[in-house]
Structure 1
Amino acid sequence: MATAEGYLRRLTRRLTEDPEQQDVEVLSDEAATTGAQRAIDCRRGQEVTMVGTLRAVETNAKGCAGGVRAELFDGTDAVMLVWLGQRRIAGIESGRTLRVHGRLGKLENGTKAIYNPHYEIQK
């Protein structure tokens, strides 16, 4: 009987919990299991490795000198990935999961950013 109660409790939680919150938990857990750093803990100037999902991708973005910008979200914070001088990068599209490595900086507006990161497409 306890097993059925536990199952019903988990099912009820899944059905009533905000879907965005569920995604945040999944992303955060996934990043932790890969040994990547959490974006919220990273500071400017650090060399970092992160895993997250691309939420938005812009090509030829203003102020990006004809580059590509992509927002990576790992469940704790967002980091802007900026590839300078690129018009398009194959495989870099919304919904993709990436593992990125580079030095953390900031954009003019204070947003965390990694310029020209090394990346691996995970899914």
Structure 2
Amino acid sequence: MPGKLAAWVRKITRDDDQIDAEVLTDQVDATGAIRAQVCCQGQRVTLHGRLRYVDLRPTEHQATLVAELYDGTDAVQLIWLGRRSIPGVEPGRTMNVRGRVALRDGQKVIYNPDYDLLPVSV
């Protein structure tokens, strides 16, 4: 019984970010996508997660749209070169992405990923 009580106390004292991370991780597992935490450089992957931010980063030569996809285990930057915006790609949106993982300044990135926007849940 003490083990069950301790588990119940842990469950009710979790913060919203922990709960959200667990829900996202369960969704990743259910879709058959790979967890961002275990993907590595050069690997072709399918990821599932929620966009934390979307940012236009113009450079001297071209516009670059950068978004961060979080799946409950880790985050991967999605970088679309030459794009100023993509309809539907906005913070809070859940999506599946496919591409090859690269490393940029120690951060996992996928350049010009293929993607599927998932329905917005209300």
Provide the TM-score with structure 2 as the length reference. 0.85
Aligned to 1:113: 109
Structure in which a larger fraction of residues adopt helix: 1
Match for 1:90 among 84, 87, 106?
A: 87
Q: CA RMSD in A?
A: 2.1
Which 4+ runs in 1 deviate beyond 4 A? Answer: 61-64
**What is the count of residue pairs matched by the alignment?**
114
Task: Supply the distance in 2 between the matched residues of 1:80 and 1:63 (Cα, whole angstroms).
Answer: 21
1:99 aligns with 2:82: no
Q: 1:122 to 1:64 in 2, by over 3 A?
A: farther
Aligned to 1:56: 53
Identity %: 46
Task: Supply the distance in 1 between the matched residues of 2:72 and 2:60 (Cα, whole angstroms).
Answer: 27
Gaps of 5+ in 1: none
* Residue type at the aligned position of 2:112: N
Gaps of 5+ in 2: none
Provide the TM-score with structure 1 as the length reference. 0.84
